[in-house]
Amino acid sequence: MPALPLLLALLSTAAAAPAAPGLHAEARTLIATEVRVTLAGVKDADAPAHLEAAFAPFLRVEAAMNEWRPGSRLSQVNAAAGSGRFVVLGPEDADLCEVLGASLAAAQRTGGLFDPTWAALRELWRFGTDAGTRPPEPAALARACPLVDWRGVELRRDGAKGGCRVRLARRGMRLGLGGVAKGWAVDRAVAALRARGLRDFLVQAGGDLYAAGTKAPGQPWRVGVRDPRGAPGTFFASLEVRDAAFSTSGDYERFFLFEGQRYHHLIDPRTCRPGTQSRSATVLARTALDAEFLGKAVFLAGGAEGLALAQAWGASAVLVTADNRVLTSPALQGALRQRAPTP
């Protein structure tokens, strides 16, 4: 799960004190990441209720979509893999059904570059732990790789009640929705704030963000894109943003080096090994969920193919290729301030 590959300059100032009248920010640790909501132009008395409404979707994700929690509904789906039976998700699980349906549609649309069944490889590819110091044995990888196949997920929706039934075809298959669940929660938080009449705010969950309106009249939100080989906290590009979502996927957040080669957490479902086409991919899209789906897919496709994939979704991308070239979607050319990233 990416840490904070994007940084908004306003966050450090907002955390200490409002940088402009009516600017309120709060951060909480939810779904294993820092979730931060920043509101602009709201009255002090109204801010607490607005913030609670924005954090509520993340609490729902914790309960339903946390695959590490044994009692979660998603864990129950994974535990039944290969049993031949459907796990019934009722109307109270409508959020999970919605995210599963969107994930399978994205898998089909990206030709499997995004695949929610990647989690079958979690115990083989381990990053950020003492075990994550060398790649898995080829034989073990060859046994597990056939379990990564979104087509082995059967989802039947109950349109009348909002629930669904889910079945995983083979024992050992696993669904992992960590990043996707974050994007979904960001979008729901955005919808909640808009329903309350707010038009200027920022919602951030790890590397997933949505910037709405402006920070203050005449002061746009500005996002910085991390330099993949630079020191932590350094950026090679920045962009003024409004009413758009962002997600960055990079090979620098969770990785290890083995025999001179970098192994990172962005696993290509086609090979079950780390992608080799890119160093980072930043996607700007209409929704945080789209940006999350596209971030990994664009990173894995790389190059002109990656940019074309983003454009097909009505999104834009900034790619740093494996040989450190910067490729930018036509819609961003002239709007992106950049320098050459660190070699």
The tens digit of pLDDT for each residue in 7-29 reads: 443 333 233 333 455 799 999 99
pLDDT per residue over 292-314, tens digit each? 999 999 999 999 999 999 999 99
If one looks up domain 64-178 in CATH, what number appears? 1.10.3980.10
For residues 130-153, give the mean pLDDT.
91
Q: Where are the domains of the chain?
A: 6-63+199-338, 64-178
If one looks up domain 6-63+199-338 in CATH, what number appears? 3.10.520.10
pLDDT per residue over 74-122, tens digit each? 999 999 999 999 999 999 999 999 999 999 999 999 999 999 999 999 9
pTM of the model: 0.91
d(CA 272, CA 145): 6
Q: Which DSSP string corresponds to 145-179?
A: GGG--GGGEEEEE-TTTS-EEEEESSTT-----HH
For residues 155-182, give the mean pLDDT.
92
The upper half-sphere exposure of residue 120, i.e. CA atoms within 13 Å in the direction of its Cβ, equals 30
In this chain, the answer to whether the domains covering 6-63+199-338 and 64-178 adopt an identical fold is no
- Looking at per-residue confidence, does 226 or 207 come out higher? 226
> Would you state the pLDDT for residue 130?
59
Which of the four pLDDT bands, split at 50, 70 and 90, describes residue 62? Answer: confident
Report CA Rg, the chain.
Answer: 20
